[in-house]
Amino acid sequence: MPTPDLAVIGGGQLARMMQPPAIALGLRIRLLAEGPDVSAAQIVPDHVVGDHTVLDDLRGVVDGAPVVTFDHEHVPPEHLRVLESEGHACRPGPHALLYAQDKAAMRERLGALGAPCPRNAPVASRDDLEAFGFPAVLKTTRGGYDGKGVWVVRSQDDADEAFASDRPLLAEELVDFRRELSALVARSPSGEVRSYPVVESRQVGGVCAEVVAPAPDLDPALAAEARSLAERIATELDVTGILAVELFETGDGRLLVNELAMRPHNTGHWSIDGAVTSQFENHLRAVLDLPLGGTDARQPWSVMVNVLGGAVDDLEAQRSVVLAAEPDVKVHLYGKSVTAGRKVGHVTAVGDDLDDVLSRARHAAALLTDG
Q: Which of 203, 235, 250, 359 binds ligand ADP (CB under 6 A)?
A: 203
- 99/329 with CB nearer ligand ADP: 99
- 81/142 with CB nearer ligand ADP: 142
Q: Taking CB under 6 A as the rule, does residue 209 contact ligand ADP?
A: no
CA angle 44, 304, 227 (to 5 degrees): 95
- 11/149 with CB nearer ligand ADP: 149
For 190, the enclosing helix (H) or strand (E) is none
CB of 305 to ligand ADP, least distance (A): 17
The DSSP bridge partners found for residue 357 are none
Q: Taking CB under 6 A as the rule, does residue 229 contact ligand ADP?
A: no
Among residues 40, 100, 99, which one has the least CA distance to residue 71? 40
CB of 217 to ligand ADP, least distance (A): 20
On the CB side of 276, CA atoms within 13 Å amount to: 10
Separation CA 32–CA 49 (nearest Å): 6
Q: Which of 4, 12, 92, 118 binds ligand ADP (CB under 6 A)?
A: 118
Look at residue 9 and give its three-state secondary structure: strand
Q: Taking CB under 6 A as the rule, does residue 98 contact ligand ADP?
A: no
- 100/329 with CB nearer ligand ADP: 100
- 258/369 with CB nearer ligand ADP: 258
In three state form, how does the secondary structure of 249-297 look? Answer: EECCCCEEEEEEECCCCHHHCHHHHHECCCHHHHHHHHHCCCCCCCCCE
Q: Taking CB under 6 A as the rule, does residue 150 contact ligand ADP?
A: yes
Q: Taking CB under 6 A as the rule, does residue 245 contact ligand ADP?
A: no
Q: Taking CB under 6 A as the rule, does residue 285 contact ligand ADP?
A: no
Q: Taking CB under 6 A as the rule, does residue 122 contact ligand ADP?
A: no
Show Cβ contacts of residue 138 under 8 Å, excluding neighbours closer than 6 positions.
123, 129, 150, 151, 153, 159, 162, 169, 170, 171
In the sheet that holds 47-49, the strands lie side by side as 47-49, 29-33, 6-9, 67-70, 89-90
Q: Taking CB under 6 A as the rule, does residue 174 contact ligand ADP?
A: yes
Q: Which of 195, 258, 271, 282 binds ligand ADP (CB under 6 A)?
A: 258
- 250/359 with CB nearer ligand ADP: 250
Torsions phi, psi for 139 (to 5 deg): -135, 140
Among residues 182, 210, 217, which one has the least CA distance to residue 362? 210
What Rg do the C-alpha atoms of the chain give, in angstroms? 20
CB of 30 to ligand ADP, least distance (A): 28
Q: Which of 34, 63, 84, 146 binds ligand ADP (CB under 6 A)?
A: 146
CA angle 128, 132, 133 (to 5 degrees): 120
Q: Which stretch binds ligand ADP (CB under 6 A): 48-56, 68-76, 169-177, 262-270?
A: 169-177
Q: Which of 144, 189, 300, 335 binds ligand ADP (CB under 6 A)?
A: 144
Q: Which of 52, 139, 265, 346 binds ligand ADP (CB under 6 A)?
A: 139
Which residues contact ligand ADP by CB under 6 A?
118, 137, 139, 144-150, 172-175, 180, 203, 206, 246, 258-259
